Chain A
């Protein structure tokens, strides 16, 4: 394969027709405060795991809402469930329970990944 000095950018379009967005509904059911998130990123700024692994709760929330569940699962596996983000959240979202809920839902409904 030839190298022309650039590469073809992967498609970043979100196809809501193909993505499974049931995960977002199930998470909201288990932890209703998930719907209060405004994506401010305070959780991410205070995250200890994020310092070492690139874990990003705001990104997890976005991926779950978009139905990009496979990536969301890969992300939540990095969380240590320390709960610092819980203390920092200005909206009172129970972020720790959101992450725990995602892990539990995935362990129960594996087909959500695809």
Chain B
């Protein structure tokens, strides 16, 4: 497509993103997959951008995984979401920012359902009142955490110590951006750039000096797909999706992948190991794989946060190649040490994928 045409389409899919006073709800699975990402997000917003962000420790899962695997009914899911809204209302906030793409999609789905069917909203308000004696106001602004980083991408770039540029060649790093399906595929108008041309990560990469790669399977799912993965026998469908993406992006020689969803970095990262073990195939140069990052990890790295504090040692594909290209200083001896300096031990070395 002609670039001017893309810009016209993007104009139709601009969303309002609140600028301050955020009520933050965490993701259940990111805490274990990429524990440094949410820490980095809060640190960036509070310490680098000086924004007001509040999170209530009493908030719970959005039930997204249970909902999408058909084990949690929609009425229950809506009531749980209503409880999160009630916590937000009680704390005096109106701008909800979920960390998780599935939570974002689910809250959007719930709010749209209530807009279409006000009687459902009334029923859920009654459920919540009977169960917890709570009332709530609907969020004035609902944006995903990546939307907020997108909104402040230029301020982050202005404060950054590094850029997404190869320090030896001066060339921009070649970046694959991967958007979570629940970000805009369900409600295109709720994502920056819509479902076909989401701009949220592209905008970050461009502002931070990198070059986004366009490749045939760019909009393909990572393969998480809940039911595809949760049932062991179905995991072949899940890994096939990731493999399709890797096969498609490989000729374009990406330096790294950036994602904005809890599941995508997990599967694009871990499946590289599994594909290696099952088929002997690796992607990226010299069998080291293509490093996968969350957008908070990339923002944190560029702002000068310590790679190991960001949790890059829990990635399956080693991230050192990207750190070296950008010129980020790090201590390899600190990689497997805890915050108080204790040795965390070494993970088992894969037989095919090089680390």
Pick from B244, B278, B351: contact of A7, CB below 8 A. B278
In the A-B complex, the 7 residue pairs with the closest CB atoms? A9-B240, A6-B235, A2-B277, A9-B236, A6-B236, A5-B232, A7-B236
CB of A4 within 8 Å of the partner chain:
yes
Chain B residues closer than 8 Å to A82, beta-carbon distance: none
- For chain A, the bracket of interface size reads 10 to 19
Q: Point out residues on A near B: beta carbons under 8 Å.
A: 1-2, 4-11, 13
9 contacts between A and B (CB under 8 A): A4-B274, A4-B277, A5-B232, A6-B234, A7-B236, A8-B279, A9-B236, A11-B240, A11-B244
Which residues of B line the A interface, CB within 8 A? 232-237, 239-240, 243-244, 274-275, 277-280, 351
The reply to whether B233 and A1 contact each other, CB–CB distance below 8 Å, is no
Asked whether, in the complex, the Cβ of B236 is within 8 Å of the Cβ of A1, the reply is no
Question: B234 contacts which chain A residues (CB < 8 A)?
Answer: 6
When the two chains form the complex, which single residue of A6, A8, A10, A11 contacts B233, counting CB atoms closer than 8 Å?
A: A6
- Dominant secondary structure at the B interface: helix
User: Which residue from B232, B275, B279, B280 sits with its C-beta under 8 Å from A6?
Assistant: B232
Chain A, Cβ-Cβ closest to B237: A9
Q: Which of B232, B243, B351 contacts A8 (CB 8 A)?
A: B243
Min CB gap B139→A, angstroms? 39
Separation of A97 and B274 alpha carbons in the complex (Å):
48
Q: Are B275 and A8 in contact (CB under 8 A)?
A: yes
Q: Is the interface of A mostly helix, strand, loop or mixed?
A: loop
Please indicate the chain B residues that have their CB under 8 angstroms from the CB of A5 in the complex: 232-233, 235
Taking the nearest CB of chain A, how far is it from the CB of B197, in angstroms?
Answer: 22
**A4 partner residues in chain B, CB cutoff 8 A:** 235, 274, 277-278
A1/B277 in contact, CB under 8 A = yes
Q: How far is the CA of A1 from the CA of B275 in the complex (A)?
A: 10
Cβ–Cβ < 8 Å partners of A9 in chain B: 236-237, 239-240
Complex alpha-carbon distance, A2 and B278, angstroms:
6
Taking a contact as CB atoms closer than 8 A, the residue among B232, B239, B278 that contacts A1 in the complex is B278
B313 to chain A, nearest CB (A): 23
Q: Roughly how many angstroms separate A94 CA and B235 CA in the complex, as a whole number?
A: 43
Q: Could you list 13 further interchain pairs (A-B, Cβ under 8 angstroms) beyond the known A4-B277, A5-B233, A6-B232? A: A1-B277, A1-B278, A1-B279, A4-B278, A6-B234, A6-B235, A8-B240, A8-B243, A8-B275, A9-B240, A10-B240, A11-B244, A13-B244
